[in-house]
Amino acid sequence: MSSPSQKNRVHVVVRVRPALEREIVNGAFHSSLACGKRTPSIFITTADQPVIVDEDSKNPPNVDTMRFDFDGCFDQTKTTEDVFKGSCSHAVADVLEGVNATVFAYGQTGTGKTHTVMGDMHKPGIALLAAKELLDAAAANPSIEIEASYLQIYRKHVSDLLSPDKGAVPDLSVKEDASGEINIPGLTVKSVESMKDVLNLLSYGGARRKQASTALNSTSSRSHAILTFHVRTFTGQMEDDTGSEFATEAKLNIVDLAGSERVKDSGVSGEDFTDATKINLSLFHLSRVVDALLSKEKRIPYKDDTLCFVLKDALGGNCLTTLIATVSPAFLHAQESLGTLHFAAACSKIKNNSHINRMAAKRKGRAWNWKAENTNAKKEPERPPVPWKGTSISSLGGRTTITTSMGNLSVLAFGPESPDAPLALCLHGQPSDAEEFTWWLVHALVWAGYRVVALDMPGRGRSLGSKMVNGGNPFKTRSDKALEPKGPADTVVAVVKALGRSKATLIGYDWGGGIALAMASCPKKRSTVEAVVAFHPSYSETPGESELLQVGAPTLILWCKQDQFHQWSKWGPMGTKLKKSLGTKKYKEFTVNEPEWSKHGWSKHSEAFEREIVHFLTGRDPCPIDPKLQARPEAADATTGGKGVVRKDNVVLRDDLQHMDPSLLEEADKEKEGVEGLREILASEKKKGNKQPLSLLVTAASSHPTRQLISKLRLPLLSPESLQMPDRLIEVGLWTREPANWRSMLASKRFSKGRRVLVRLSSVASKKPADKDYLCAPPGNPTAGGGSGSRVTHRAVLVGPLGGDGGGSYEVEVERAGGGTVKIGVPRKDLLELNSPHKLPPMPGKPPGSTLQLEDGIRIDFSSGAARAKMCEIAMALGPLVENLDFSEGEKTVEIQLECVRTIRKCLELTTFQQDDGGRSRDTTRYCKDDAALFASYGQGHCHTVSSVTCSFLLPWSRLLGIDVKYRGGWTFYGDGGSPVEDVPERHQWIEFTLRPSNQSFVCDLYADDSPRCLRDGKMLTMPMSEAYAQEMYPNGKLLVLSGANVTVDTSPEVLANEFA
């Protein structure tokens, strides 16, 4: 059952209609959409060329392709009945319980909104299907009464489509009652007693509805229509003599919105042109309401438009709402489809506030007895049998006893005994034993080539009692006890060793799943773990810790969401953490829904789970190369009229590649080849004396042979988003491995006792850098805070959280004027704002993660050719350092991290406007407009420019190298400390960074490093923060605004989870 918050969120599904005749050219059309096979996702490209998308990845393959995740996705093969059952039938159940519900369709004109919502007798739409379920319920329960109303909104005017008046229908007014709900006085409400009544009602009202013929739709709805079923359910007699009864009353609104359109495409004119502009304006106001709700504005502009006012309950009010976004599959309408999907995605974030509507009422009575129609439910097609089905378990192996360092243990052993066969160790739940794996899974694992050993834990099944281990005490089944000496984890290690192996894939259910995850997250045990398959794992992390961030083994989580003993919602936050740590290639989730769980449990889905486990273990990358489509795959399809047509797909799911003609694919990993090609070009140019070969991207003519070679290379996308994991760097040969103990570093705390931090004091002893007490705490009782006399001081060291205030403050120790220190409380928010890593804004209109917007209009798109080449060059330069980087080696780790920063700087062919005599000079050959990638190849600039470019190429490596980056601004004095420092004006910009796990902070000032004073000696690139802020510059601590966009503090769950040690 959904939680209240989940149920109140607007439920969004997308429906893709078949192609129309006008979208067909020479018997075919180009498709711009693909629905996920295993997830309710839809992929869309706005480029008319084929692209492969990975359903397991949240990262689109290029800037022209986007992924949207909704509650359901229905492709061209699905019927309206499929859409109803998968997205709307719950609305009928809600209304029968007394909760208002709304279903509305939104999309470009001609995408099938009216077909989906209204339909007809032969192809019933949502309205008729909902009416059928309501009438069936009424037939079974005489306490249910149903009425209906039908209205249209045309050019802001509300009219009654069921009005008995034969002439012009008068306008109706929209009112809001004292409770905030919407009513329309004078609207005709008719009792419905049969499906014939509903059909007559729709026919009568539909004939009055405004329509027009356009180039996009021969029967385009020019008005918004709302069919409402008013359902009253009587629940019991009141204890009075009025004859009233307790009842619930709810409305089911079925909304058919008029379609949006570009008038130049629809070809309308005159009155129809006016209609189109009014419709577009109305839908624009609807998007304003959605934006205002998401921004939590004080005033929601419902009353700016009649449609918005009528739908007020459905968007943010007392209602459960479902949106059906309808789109065309044709590339011809890709931009309009993309707009529809963006609107739908925004709606999916809206939360309503529904409740059961209770009242006292008198029965109107009904002179009819509706009998439910006897229809056969549509059955799901049976899947083909799995290849291991029918295999006799006895033919695969059986029970045996093995001798281990923990004593003799009983196990079930199956499959090949060859030491070359991978080992799968199955760990049972509690209470249970190894036999739980014999009716399922064992057959599948043996078929996949595994040696399968299912263990009876000590004291369970046929293994000896607990006297032989754990001092005679039974094993504790909580996951935090799995690692106790001579406990479950030690038992697993002993079994693996007794079998002559060093590693095993651990497959665990319930308790067994918790044991597997505990071992995979433990530095002393994880070397035994090849991979983890955890089904309903009974696992919880230690409060305040992040053990799961240390899991390095590929992990598959399996779940039946309706299982009453294993709550999926509790796993959610831990799954998010594992996904962040492992990445989408190494972390997978597979879930099933079983509404009749009390009858079947999850056993009905055992084959689906087996298939997913085999796929995960034997085909983690079903397409190990990263192919490129040479041509659009073709498939037989049909138009809305049933005419055969060829569909040519621009979007192809990776899962479908195994069924595709190999001639459509490139067989080599072109990105890996591109990396090798770039390596050869760089080496060749350096032999010629060109120390910065990529400068040719700026200085050389486009016809230059080397520049042409570089431009033709297919290089990987290395961006802040794609570099969350080192996998792709290793796959394409840029790195050979991830840094040692990298996952332990990710779990380390950012704020440890003794870390030097920045703190704003309400007053300081001196503001002059030359003074001994510069930025020290003044005598008396200094406090943290703002004000005209406040300054940011670097003379503070973290002590820890202050007790007694709910974790809202930290205590720091600040150097006091005249000597000694003083302890001061600092609000947690202020400490995090001054010392947490920064998030830089993306380019306008671009998703975060693949672009950055920086100072003075400088931008970087990591998908550009110049950015790909420069990032690959940096990755190559960092490779030898990463070979020696071990995050457990203290100061050696720090020195290698600092050398990484210096190495990134060396890869930037970037100078400043400074000459030996201190003057400034511009080199016009280094003009790079606003492209940070070109600046990095051969650029020149002032402090804003060089800091922006440095940050562009340091920030993407922050997670892999343990470098938290902050973009700073402030005052400079460069040794001349006679004048007081000020918060304004801002004189300078630079980079500050903190290394993990040491939590030592440094300053990177490329402008100062390039000055005649420093002559690129590298000191200003990695100067300790305390030294830099005492001798060179003063940070004002403000979050900068870069080209109109705000720098923000990174408050992601991973950052906050690793706050204080």
Give yes or no for residue 252 having a pLDDT over 90.
yes
**393-618 under CATH 2.60.120.200, yes or no:** no
pLDDT of residue 25: 80
pLDDT band at 808 (very low <50, low <70, confident <90, very high): confident
pLDDT of residue 696: 82
Give yes or no for residue 1012 having a pLDDT over 60.
yes
- Percentage of the chain lying above the pLDDT 70 cut: 86
What topology is assigned to 84-328+336-360 in CATH?
A: Kinesin (3.40.850)
When pLDDT is averaged across residues 316-323 and rounded to a whole number, the result is 89
> Is 113 assigned to a binding site?
yes
Of the listed ranges 67-71, 371-375, 404-408, 580-584, the least confidently predicted one is 371-375
When pLDDT is averaged across residues 233-245 and rounded to a whole number, the result is 65
> Mind listing the pLDDT tens digit for each residue in 815-870?
999 999 999 999 999 999 999 999 999 998 877 778 999 988 899 999 999 999 99
pLDDT of residue 953: 96
Query: Higher confidence at residue 921 or residue 632?
Result: 632
When pLDDT is averaged across residues 339-348 and rounded to a whole number, the result is 90
Q: How many CA atoms lie within 13 A of 646 on its CB side?
A: 8
b/e string for 960-991 if b means 16 or more Cβ within 10 A? bbbbbbbbbbbbbbbeebeebbebeebbbbbb
When pLDDT is averaged across residues 550-570 and rounded to a whole number, the result is 87
Which of 758, 791, 850, 833 is closest to 1040 using CA atoms? 833
Separation of alpha carbons 944 and 947, rounded Å: 5
DSSP secondary structure letters along 265-287: HHT--HHHHHHHHHHHHHHHHHH
pLDDT of residue 364: 66
> Mind listing the pLDDT tens digit for each residue in 700-720?
787 788 888 888 888 999 999
- Give rounded-to-5 percent helix, strand, coil for the chain: 35, 25, 40
pLDDT band at 392 (very low <50, low <70, confident <90, very high): confident
Query: Higher confidence at residue 923 or residue 480?
Result: 480
DSSP secondary structure letters along 570-594: HHHHHHHHHHHHH-TTTEEEEEE--
Of the listed ranges 715-724, 760-769, 882-891, 1007-1016, the least confidently predicted one is 1007-1016
- The residue ranges of every structural domain in the chain are 84-328+336-360, 393-618, 751-835, 838-1057
> Is 36 assigned to a binding site?
no
Separation of alpha carbons 679 and 688, rounded Å: 15
Residue 71 tokens read as 């509650």
Query: Higher confidence at residue 110 or residue 12?
Result: 12
Residue 451 tokens read as 């040696």
When pLDDT is averaged across residues 101-120 and rounded to a whole number, the result is 87
> Is 116 assigned to a binding site?
no
As a whole number, the mean pLDDT across the chain is 83
Give yes or no for residue 3 having a pLDDT over 70.
no
Give yes or no for residue 795 having a pLDDT over 60.
yes
Segment of 96-110, 170-184, 756-770 carrying the highest mean pLDDT: 756-770
CB 570 within 8 A of CB 557: no
Give yes or no for residue 278 having a pLDDT over 70.
no
Query: Higher confidence at residue 1052 or residue 896?
Result: 896
Angle, CA 1037 vertex, CA 1014 and CA 813 arms, to 5°: 95
Q: Which secondary-structure segment (H or E) carries 742?
A: helix 742-746
CB 414 within 8 A of CB 437: no
In 367-440 the beta strands, taken as DSSP E runs, fall at 397-404, 407-414, 423-427
DSSP secondary structure letters along 448-469: TT-EEEEE--TTSTTS--GGGS
Angle, CA 775 vertex, CA 770 and CA 781 arms, to 5°: 140
pLDDT band at 920 (very low <50, low <70, confident <90, very high): very low
Among all chains, which residue has been given the structure tokens 């988003």?
721
pLDDT band at 382 (very low <50, low <70, confident <90, very high): very low
Give yes or no for residue 140 having a pLDDT over 90.
no
Separation of alpha carbons 533 and 991, rounded Å: 43
Query: Higher confidence at residue 716 or residue 654?
Result: 716
> Mind listing the pLDDT tens digit for each residue in 583-635?
877 889 988 888 777 776 788 888 888 888 988 888 753 333 445 566 678 88
Give yes or no for residue 399 having a pLDDT over 80.
yes
Q: What is the DSSP letter of 354?
A: -
> Is 111 assigned to a binding site?
yes
Collapsing DSSP to helix, strand or coil, 758 comes out as: strand
Query: Higher confidence at residue 528 or residue 975?
Result: 528
Phi first, then psi: what are they for 675, rounded to 5°?
A: -60, -45
CA distances from 467 to 491, 539, 789, 899 (A): 14, 26, 71, 55
> Mind listing the pLDDT tens digit for each residue in 12-26?
999 999 988 888 887
pLDDT band at 216 (very low <50, low <70, confident <90, very high): very low
pLDDT of residue 241: 54
CA distances from 267 to 217, 276, 326, 328, 521 (A): 11, 10, 21, 18, 63
Phi first, then psi: what are they for 76, rounded to 5°?
A: -65, -20
Give yes or no for residue 420 having a pLDDT over 70.
yes
Within 10 A of 435 (CB to CB), how many other CB atoms are there? Answer: 14
pLDDT of residue 83: 93
CB 814 within 8 A of CB 795: yes
Separation of alpha carbons 1003 and 1014, rounded Å: 15
pLDDT of residue 424: 95
Strands 224-237 and 245-256: antiparallel
pLDDT band at 163 (very low <50, low <70, confident <90, very high): confident
Among all chains, which residue has been given the structure tokens 């809202």?
808
When pLDDT is averaged across residues 307-316 and rounded to a whole number, the result is 86
Torsion of CA 83, 85, 88, 93, to 10 degrees: 170
Domains 84-328+336-360 and 393-618 share a fold: no
Phi first, then psi: what are they for 1044, rounded to 5°?
A: 90, -5
Separation of alpha carbons 1038 and 786, rounded Å: 12
Counting every residue, how long is the chain? 1061
When pLDDT is averaged across residues 982-998 and rounded to a whole number, the result is 94
Residue 741 tokens read as 């103990």
Separation of alpha carbons 406 and 417, rounded Å: 22
Residue 323 tokens read as 């949106």
Give yes or no for residue 239 having a pLDDT over 90.
no
Separation of alpha carbons 907 and 183, rounded Å: 67
Name residues whose C-beta falls within 8 Å of residue 88's C-beta, 6 or more positions apart in sequence.
103, 126, 129, 130, 322, 324
Give yes or no for residue 235 having a pLDDT over 90.
no
pLDDT of residue 660: 65
Give yes or no for residue 266 having a pLDDT over 50.
no
Tell me the whole-structure pTM to 2 decimals: 0.51
Give yes or no for residue 284 having a pLDDT over 80.
no
> Mind listing the pLDDT tens digit for each residue in 678-693?
999 998 888 888 878 8
Separation of alpha carbons 697 and 963, rounded Å: 29
When pLDDT is averaged across residues 307-317 and rounded to a whole number, the result is 86
Separation of alpha carbons 496 and 453, rounded Å: 10
When pLDDT is averaged across residues 907-912 and rounded to a whole number, the result is 89
How close are the terminal C-alpha atoms of the chain, in Å?
38
Give yes or no for residue 668 having a pLDDT over 80.
no
pLDDT of residue 110: 84
> Is 911 assigned to a binding site?
no
Collapsing DSSP to helix, strand or coil, 154 comes out as: strand
Q: What strands lie across the sheet with 1023-1024, from one edge to the other?
A: 1023-1024, 1001-1004, 988-995, 963-972, 1033-1035
Among all chains, which residue has been given the structure tokens 């204890």?
239
pLDDT of residue 468: 44
**If you count DSSP H runs as helices and E runs as strands, how many of each does the chain have, helices first?**
30, 47
Cis previous bond, 769, omega within 30: no
pLDDT band at 372 (very low <50, low <70, confident <90, very high): very low
When pLDDT is averaged across residues 989-994 and rounded to a whole number, the result is 96
Give yes or no for residue 63 having a pLDDT over 90.
no
Torsion of CA 214, 217, 223, 224, to 10 degrees: -150
pLDDT band at 269 (very low <50, low <70, confident <90, very high): very low
Name residues whose C-beta falls within 8 Å of residue 69's C-beta, 6 or more positions apart in sequence.
39, 40, 41
Of the listed ranges 74-78, 424-428, 590-594, 1001-1005, the least confidently predicted one is 590-594
Give yes or no for residue 215 having a pLDDT over 70.
no
CA distances from 216 to 17, 213, 267, 336, 528 (A): 14, 8, 8, 12, 62
pLDDT band at 268 (very low <50, low <70, confident <90, very high): very low
Separation of alpha carbons 745 and 765, rounded Å: 38
| Bridge partners of residue 27, in order along the sequence | none
Name residues whose C-beta falls within 8 Å of residue 1029's C-beta, 6 or more positions apart in sequence.
794, 1003, 1035
Name residues whose C-beta falls within 8 Å of residue 101's C-beta, 6 or more positions apart in sequence.
91, 92, 94, 95, 250, 251, 252, 253, 319, 320, 321, 322
Residue 182 tokens read as 């919407």
Q: Which secondary-structure segment (H or E) carries 760?
A: strand 756-761
Query: Higher confidence at residue 3 or residue 696?
Result: 696
